[in-house]
Structure 1
Amino acid sequence: MLVDVLAGDSSSPAARGSFHFARSPQAGEEIEIDGTVVVVTRAWHRPSIYYQGAKFAILVEEPVADAQVRPEVRDHADMAV
């Protein structure tokens, strides 16, 4: 599943890119993006037949300090686009 990842404050998030996930991340979940562990703060579906690209988006917090990448976190993401 292709997911758009946004980072930072919800009022002005910065785009981190689009990534493939085995399943859609949920709010409160820790995920790994480019070797960095982040926490999903919001997740939503963006259905549109006119918008090409990801139909699902997540908002993440800045990297988790001193986080070890656990196997269950690493296995969640398939690959980055």
Structure 2
Amino acid sequence: MARGDVKASWRKPAGALAILLLILVWVVLVASFSGPIGTLPVLVQALVYVVLGIAWILPLKPLLRWMETGQWRLPN
């Protein structure tokens, strides 16, 4: 391969699809608990939704690493 040539990888489109599916599943999961969460005091609701709004990002790091390198974990 000549310098500058890039081989297309199937991992990036597959990873992008996985990210979209992760978001969809997370939204459905959080929405399914909106009834019980809605009974909590407003400040507690806000805290719960802030935590849940950030928590979906945690599985992205290994997924993004896999998309770039093909490995789920950092080498030892």
Normalising by structure 1, report the TM-score. 0.20
Q: Which has the larger radius of gyration?
A: 2
Structure with bigger strand share is 1
Structure with bigger helix share is 2
